[in-house]
Amino acid sequence: MILVELYLILQIADFWKEAQILSSLHHPNVVSFYGVVRDGPDGSLATVNEFMINGSLKQFLRKKDRYLYDLMN
């Protein structure tokens, strides 16, 4: 049980470290970071970022891969 608690503490510490780094990034090509909120009934933490009008990076990369795949065939 102590290892599980330690693991959770380290995860939360890593989350806050990442949030601190994100808060220092300011560039036109980087999605803006607005803050941290408690999310859901368990109170888990979530970041609040700028809305990406063209979708997520994951969606963009999937489309790009599909396009590159089509070009290669």
Q: Quickly list DSSP for 3-47.
A: HHHHHHHHHHHHHHHHHHHHHT---TTSPPEEEEEEETTTTEEEE
Please report the pLDDT score of residue 69 as a whole number: 54
Residue 33: which of 19, 44, 45, 13 has the closest Cα? 19
What does the pLDDT read at residue 6? Answer: 93
Instruction: Give per-10-residue mean pLDDT for the chain (73 aa).
Output: 90 95 93 92 90 81 65 51
Number of domains in the chain: 1
Domain encompassing residue 11: 2-72
Spatial separation of the C-alpha atoms in residues 67 and 63, rounded to whole Å: 6
C-alpha 46/C-alpha 35 separation (Å) is 9
What CATH number did the domain enclosing 48 receive?
A: 3.30.200
Q: What is the pLDDT of residue 66?
A: 63
